[in-house]
A and B are shown apart, each in its own frame.
Chain A
């Protein structure tokens, strides 16, 4: 059957072009509605539209005075317009052979005047039209015709932009996925490398504490240095991936600046060549205590000083710190690392901060290094809202400097208690860890502290030991076969209902991992390779904590935020509503439960579930499901009684947290 409308020669390509824009059956759009209004104003007509014509219909993207979303192609006037390359203007349809008997001229839309411009894509296909229609005869003037053509062009560019935006969004998603893949690859690699490294460094540490002859001592020193260097490299790579993904944050904790500088100095002194004088100059009125990120300052200085010492074979390397400004609550300090080493050619001064670039290709061969250090330094300085400066003359030396602003610290925080182990008594500790080397290492360290240690090969074994013996504390590796650290903790908290302190130990440095640990109910987190002091501090912290303080609920706002579409007011309104409604509903539920009003309990429990869902309190929703189920059977057991209690505490805790927001 031949269709009752003319078909352009390039119909197939035309339809393909239309399809590319993904415009058919989309929601109304202001940009197109505005263009339609413009047509109606310009031409002074009551009817205007922007439409697209596919195989069988004319679909209106935007319309004024038409009131339907599509018409069959055969009755459309525009089926002719898309055959043209220019505007079609019919001043009086009664006088037009083609249209005078058309049902929409004699009746229907009562079209007396029609002007349509084809919407032509940049590659030359007429995919639709923009039209002005009136019930009376009319003639457009030259300006109106021009304006109509301009609006048509505008509509097509709008379409192009929208399509490009969609393409861009898709590309962006692909790129983001690639970044994610890279991040998780790096995190995994770092795990694989750091697990054995943890063992190497830890055992060397222990070995160094035993009695050794001079040669052995020398060997052990070398192993220690090599191990630490390797760790530095792995950490460099990890840091970089964290900086890149925006996940590296700058701490704000009080620390002793002078001590930090002296520590760095002592640490690096051994690396200075024999002929090099290594100095540390501290300004006399430099503060002792400041508030800022000690670890990152350490990292910056170790990198810069390490470089200076590496590239300087004679002369001196001088580290100096000077107070350049002081306000009521801030110090500005200038840090400088100056050497008389090989220097940097002028044309390389800019690129040395780029990744994997060193001043000379041969640098890596001669001096080693990853080529990441200065890039990390630069980014770390910038994260602390400053800028790194470099001055250098080839053959004469270099100076790197930067100014950091620190909040003034309280001097008395300086008296940090030295870690002593004896005030905890004899703790019985359970370690869940599958790696034999790490087991041995942890065992020696924990026994050094004077504590007792039992070892479980995996989570399931750990759970078994926990049921038969009494422990004061669990050290939990996260990656284990059978049951991993998260699953094991969830089981201990939810099934065994034990509130024994659990410390996560992990070589993973995955972003968000720490939050996840706390979320499943762990009390502390120690990254591997662990330092003895850090582990002991974590043990002391969890042992002295109130048990309820340690297991604070973390509320997941992701569904609420999704619903709120970025509106803080709405978010707050819902939180207020929760605070206002839920506690009283809980009280009603408890009352009805006491009176064994099964029907009321059932209805209340059911209704409350939807509220708790929004705040993703799935543990409490589960309680409600059990209560609801028992209510519908018409009989409450001790299980419901339990769940009512858990719900009561959970709601109280949640409301308290929400109120503190």
Chain B
């Protein structure tokens, strides 16, 4: 299973990709929304995992682009810092499948990913 991860915080991005790779996923990770979107256009990912606030293009824009322009229904999980970004409803509106508030529990993330990929734990 191939996952793309867009997150601009180094420590979080590296931790998440290490964690997901340890769990058997193939992970491409980007710190810039624009690079991430280019990779999405070029490759076939099974799931998109994106932060909201990023330099270049935001996670919301990525989601919108994937749904409306590429017309793909690939599962999308949006990562948010709760409180400041009141984005839960917006995320669903534009077609995200899940949103996860930071701080992210690795176990919860894995369950959500598996659920979206219809993998039984």
Are B18 and A564 within 8 A (Cβ)? yes
Interface of chain A residues 518 through 574 with chain B (CB within 8 A): 559-560, 562-565, 567, 570, 573-574
Smallest Cβ distance from B71 to chain A, in angstroms? Answer: 21
Segment of A114-122, A317-325, A381-389, A610-618 in the binding face = A610-618
**A581-B24 contact in complex given A563-B16, A570-B18, C-beta closer than 8 Å:** no
User: A578 near B: Cβ within 8 Å?
Assistant: yes
Binding site of A, secondary structure by majority: helix, strand, loop or mixed?
A: helix
> Which chain A residue shows the least CB distance to B21?
A565
> Which chain B residue shows the least CB distance to A577?
B11
Of the four ranges (under 10, 10 to 19, 20 to 34, 35 or more), the interface on chain A belongs to: 20 to 34
Are B84 and A610 within 8 A (Cβ)? no
In the bound complex, what is the Cα–Cα distance between A574 and B16 (angstroms)? Answer: 11
Are B1 and A581 within 8 A (Cβ)? no
Interface of chain A residues 609 through 639 with chain B (CB within 8 A): 609-611, 613-614, 616, 618, 621, 625, 628-629, 632
User: B42 near A: Cβ within 8 Å?
Assistant: no
Are B11 and A611 within 8 A (Cβ)? yes
> Which chain A residue shows the least CB distance to B85?
A606
**A563-B15 contact in complex given A606-B53, A607-B9, A609-B102, C-beta closer than 8 Å:** yes
Interface of chain A residues 12 through 31 with chain B (CB within 8 A): 22, 25-27
- Type the 1/0 row for B102-121, where 1 means its CB is closer than 8 Å to any CB of A: 11111100000000001110
- Type the 1/0 row for B14-58, where 1 means its CB is closer than 8 Å to any CB of A: 111011001110000000000000000000000000010100000
Chain A contacts for B105, CB-based, 8 A: 559, 562
Are B103 and A616 within 8 A (Cβ)? yes
Chain A contacts for B103, CB-based, 8 A: 559, 613-614, 616, 618, 621
- Type the 1/0 row for A415-447, where 1 means its CB is closer than 8 Å to any CB of B: 000000000000000000000000000000000
**A27-B19 contact in complex given A574-B11, A577-B14, A611-B12, C-beta closer than 8 Å:** no
Question: Which residue from A25, A565, A621 sits with its C-beta under 8 Å from B118?
Answer: A25
Chain A contacts for B106, CB-based, 8 A: 559, 562-563
**A606-B119 contact in complex given A562-B106, A611-B12, C-beta closer than 8 Å:** no
User: B90 near A: Cβ within 8 Å?
Assistant: no
Are A27 and B24 within 8 A (Cβ)? yes
In the bound complex, what is the Cα–Cα distance between A365 and B76 (angstroms)? Answer: 70
Chain A contacts for B1, CB-based, 8 A: 27
Are A562 and B119 within 8 A (Cβ)? no
Chain B contacts for A559, CB-based, 8 A: 103, 105-106
Question: Which residue from A22, A573, A603, A610 sits with its C-beta under 8 Å from B12?
Answer: A610
Are A27 and B11 within 8 A (Cβ)? no
**A606-B84 contact in complex given A26-B120, A613-B103, C-beta closer than 8 Å:** yes
Interface of chain B residues 64 through 114 with chain A (CB within 8 A): 81, 83-84, 102-107
> Which chain A residue shows the least CB distance to B54?
A607
Are B22 and A628 within 8 A (Cβ)? no
Smallest Cβ distance from A656 to chain B, in angstroms? Answer: 18
Chain B contacts for A614, CB-based, 8 A: 11-12, 15, 103
> Which chain B residue shows the least CB distance to A575?
B11
Are B22 and A629 within 8 A (Cβ)? no
Smallest Cβ distance from B80 to chain A, in angstroms? Answer: 11
> Which chain A residue shows the least CB distance to B114?
A27
Smallest Cβ distance from B114 to chain A, in angstroms? Answer: 9
**A578-B119 contact in complex given A27-B1, A27-B24, C-beta closer than 8 Å:** no
In the bound complex, what is the Cα–Cα distance between A442 and B51 (angstroms)? Answer: 55
Are B22 and A574 within 8 A (Cβ)? no
In the bound complex, what is the Cα–Cα distance between A618 and B81 (angstroms)? Answer: 13
Are A625 and B15 within 8 A (Cβ)? no
Interface residues of B (CB under 8 A from A): 1, 7-12, 14-16, 18-19, 22-24, 51, 53, 81, 83-84, 102-107, 118-120
28 A-B Cβ contacts within 8 A? A22-B120, A26-B119, A27-B1, A27-B24, A559-B105, A559-B106, A562-B106, A562-B107, A563-B16, A563-B18, A564-B15, A564-B18, A564-B19, A565-B18, A565-B23, A567-B18, A573-B14, A574-B14, A577-B14, A578-B11, A606-B84, A609-B81, A610-B102, A611-B12, A613-B12, A614-B11, A616-B103, A628-B84
Given contacts A562-B107, A578-B11, A611-B12, 18 further A-B contacts (CB under 8 A): A22-B120, A25-B118, A27-B119, A563-B15, A563-B18, A564-B18, A565-B18, A574-B14, A577-B11, A581-B10, A581-B11, A606-B81, A609-B102, A613-B102, A613-B103, A614-B11, A616-B103, A632-B84
